[in-house]
Structure 1
Amino acid sequence: MIDVDALIVFSTVIDAGSFSAAAERLGQTPSGVSRTISRLEEQLGMTLMRRTTRRLQLTEEGTWLLGRARSLLADLANTEAEAAARRSQPSGLVRVNAATPALDHLLAPLVPAFLDAYPLVQLELVSGETYVDLIEERADLAIRIGALPDSTLNARRLGASPLRVMASPGYLEKHGAPSTPAELERHRTLGFAAPASLNTWPLQHEGAEGWTITPAVTATSGGTLRELALAGAGIVSLSDFLTRGDVAAGRLVPVLASHSLPWGQPVWAVFYKQGALAPRVAALVDFLAARLGEVLER
C-alpha cells in the first residue's frame, strides 16, 4: 500500500522545485526526502523524475502519479475538514429502536426540540417490542425500559418513571378493589410476556418488598396492557409516562396505594461503542439525558 506521507513528500518536491526546498517546507533533511522518493519509486517499480544538478524533470509516470497524488491528497483534506465539521455540527441519520410506547410518549415529545438544536441530523424511529440485535437491525441506538440483561452493549441511564398499580373504574365496580397484595390472587392481573422481572409489582407485603403476580393475560407491549386495563380486563402495573393522562382523566385509578413502594422503571439509551461514539448519536444521547427527565416528571 502506498504511504500517504510519501505522496505528500513527492508532491512537495514538485511544488518546491528541489529536494532541499521541499525538505525545508517539510521540516526534514534533503537526504531524508531523497530516500523517501527512492523508496516510492522502488515500491511502484517506475522512475518518477530525472534529477539533474539544475532541475527536476517528471517522467510520464511521474506526471501520472502527481495527478493522482494531488487528487487523493485533496480528498483526504476534504474528508478531514468534513469530519471536523461533523464534530462541531453533528449531521447524518440516526436510527433509533424502541418499544412503541417509548417512541410515542418519551421520544416524540422531544423530537421537535432536538431537530431545532441539530438541524443537520435526521431520525429514523423504528418500533420493536422485544430486544433486537442493533447491528442486524442497523440501529444506532435503542431505548430500553427496565432492568437490562447482561450484554456487551454500552448503556447510559436517561431517567426513571414511577410505577403504579391501577385498574379501570369499570373493573373495580364489577370485581371490587383488593385491600392487600395477597388479594390480587383473586383478581385478574395483566402482565408482561417478558422479561419476567416486569411482573414483580411495587407493593410491600408483610415486610417484603415486591409482589410477583401470575398474569391472567400477558402481552409484549405496555401499550397493549394499557388498552386491556382501559377495557376493564384486569389490574395492571405500568409506568407513569404511559398512564399519566388516563389517571388524570379518571380512566384508570390507583389500586393498593397504601401498599405502594416508590419504585421507578429506569430508562436507558443502549448502543454499541467501538471507539468514539458518532457525533450524531452522541448528540441525541446527550440531549435525551438532559431533557427526558422533563417528560418523565410531567
Structure 2
Amino acid sequence: MLDLPALIAFDAVIAAGSFSAAAARLGQTPSGVSRTISRFEARLGMTLIVRTTRRLDLTEEGAWLLERARKVLAELAETEAQLPSRRAQPAGLVRVNAATPALDFLIAPLAAQFMDAYPLVRLELTSGETVIDLIEERADLAIRIGNLADSSLNARKLGTSALRLLAAPAYLARHGVPRSVDALVKEHRLLGFSAPASLNIWPLAGSGTGAGAAGLAIEPVLRASNGGSLRQLALHGAGIVCLSHFMTRHDLASGALVPVLDELRLPWTQPIWAVFYKQGALAPRVAALVDFLARRLAESGLDS
C-alpha cells in the first residue's frame, strides 16, 4: 500500500503548497502528480488532502501519515548520503564459513590485521566440514580448499598451497625414514582422510604400487574427517601424513614435523577459493575481506 514514489509526491505537494509547484520540483506534470496522489488515497482507503480552488489542506489522516512519511524520507536521504563513505570505508558484518583448518590456519592468523585495516567491519566465523548453502546458512563468504564442484555460486581464487608428506621426528626415530615409495607403503603407518577418496592420493612419483604421474593412492591405517585432526595425529607420532602447507608451515619451521620423501614429491598444489553468492556488485564489506585475503596469501609463499 505504501510506495516510495507516492510518499515523495505526497511530501512534495504539501511542502510546495500546490500540485503544479510540486510537479516542477519533481520534474513531472501537475496531472501526473495529481493522479499519483489520487491512486495513493484510493489504495489507502482514506483522503489525505482536501483540495479547494485556493488551497490544499491536510486531513487528520494526512497529517498523521505526513509526519511518518517525512521520517522515512529523511532516513532514506541520510542513508543515500552515507553510501559513498561506506563504499570508501566498508562497514558491517561479514559471515564467513570454512572448514576448521581453514579458519584456524588461514583466517584466524590474519583476522587482527584485517580488523586493524577495516575497523568498521565485523567478522562472524563458522566452521563447517561440508559444503553449505550460503543463502540458507546466511553466510556471505565461504573459504574452500581444493577443486570446486560445478556451482551457481561465484568463486575467486585466493592462492594455492603446496602438498607435502610429513612426520614427527619421534615417529621417524621409532620407525625409520622411508627412502622409497615401496618402503613408505610397506613399512609405515599412513594417515589419511575418511572422505573424499581423492584426498588420499599423494603427490609421489616412483615405483610403488599405485604410484606414477597421477600420484600414489594410499590405504590409510588411520583415517580422520579433517586435516586438523590428521595434523594432531602426526604431531603426536601416529604416522605419516600428506597435508597442505598452509596448515603445517609453522610445524616445519619449528621442526615439530619434517618432510618425508621430499625429493620424490610431485609439485602439486591445492587451490584456495573464496566462494560467494553474487547478484550485482559484491558488497564492499565482503569485497574488502576477499581482496585482503588474496593480497596476504599472495605474499605468504604457501605454494612452495
TM-score under structure 2 normalisation? 0.88
Superposed CA RMSD in Å reads: 2.3
Question: Which residue matches 1:200?
Answer: 201
- 1:176 matched to which residue of 2? 176
Q: Is 1:291 matched up with 2:292?
A: no
Secondary structure of 1:267's aligned partner:
strand
Q: Distance in 2 between matches of 1:90 and 1:248?
A: 36
Of 188-197 and 250-259, deviating more is 250-259
Work out the CA distance in 2 between the residues paired with 1:248 and 1:69: 63
Q: Secondary structure at the match of 2:275?
A: strand
Counterpart of 1:226 (choices 228, 231, 240) is 231
User: Aligned residue for 2:189?
Assistant: 188
1:129-144 matches, within 5 Å, as 129-144=129-144
**Which amino acid counterpart does residue 169 of structure 2 have in structure 1?**
P
* Residues 1:19 and 1:248: Cα distance change in structure 2 (over 3 Å): closer
CA contact (8 A) 1:180 1:256 kept: yes
Q: State, as a whole percentage, how many aligned pairs show the same letter.
A: 69
The one-letter code of the counterpart of 1:292 is L
Which one-letter code corresponds to 1:287 in the other structure? Answer: F
The DSSP-based 3-state class of the residue aligned with 2:150 is coil
Inter-partner Cα distance in structure 2 for 1:2 and 1:15 = 19
Mark the CA change 1:125 to 1:296 in structure 2 (over 3 Å): closer, same or farther: farther
Q: Which segment is superposed worse, 73-82 or 251-260?
A: 73-82
Q: Deviations over 1:131-157 (max 9, x none)?
A: 344344433222221222333333221
Give the AA of the match of 1:88: A
Q: 1:3 to 1:99 in 2, by over 3 A?
A: closer
- Give the match's secondary structure for 1:204: coil
For residues 26 and 259 of structure 1, the distance between their equivalents in structure 2, rounded to whole angstroms, comes to: 74
Q: Secondary structure at the match of 1:205?
A: coil
In structure 2, the residue matched to 1:8 is 8
Give me the whole-angstrom Cα distance separating, in 1, the residues matched to 2:164 and 2:74.
Answer: 60
2-structure distance, mates of 1:31, 1:129:
61
Match of 1:245 in 2: 250
Q: Which runs of 5+ in 2 are unaligned?
A: none
> Whole-Å Cα distance in 2 between the matches of residues 125 and 164 of structure 1?
27
What is the TM-score normalised by the length of structure 1? 0.89
Residue identity opposite 1:131 in structure 2: V
* Aligned counterparts of 1:283 and 1:269: Cα–Cα separation in 2: 12
The total of aligned residue pairs comes to 298
CA distance in structure 1 between the aligned counterparts of 2:76 and 2:141, rounded to whole angstroms: 29
State the shift of 1:265 in Å: 1.3
8 Å CA contact retained: 1:130, 1:220: no
Contact 1:240 1:296 in 2 (8 A): no
- What whole-Å deviation, never above 9, does each CA across 1:93-139 have from its counterpart, x for those lacking one? 22222233322222222112211111011112233334344344433
SS of aligned partner of 1:265: strand
Secondary structure of the equivalent of 2:271? strand
Q: In the alignment, which residue of structure 2 is the partner of 1:260?
A: 265
| Corresponding position of 1:112 | 112
Moved more, 185-194 or 173-182: 173-182
Q: Does residue 123 of the first structure (1) align with residue 123 of the second (2)? A: yes
Cα deviation, residue 195, structure 1: 2.0
Partner of 1:35: 35
Deviation sequence 1:233-278 (CA, Å, 0-9, x none): 2111112222223223333222222211111111111222244333
Letter in 1 for 2:193: F
In 1, Cα distance between equivalents of 2:76 and 2:8 = 11
Question: Which amino acid counterpart does residue 28 of structure 2 have in structure 1?
Answer: Q
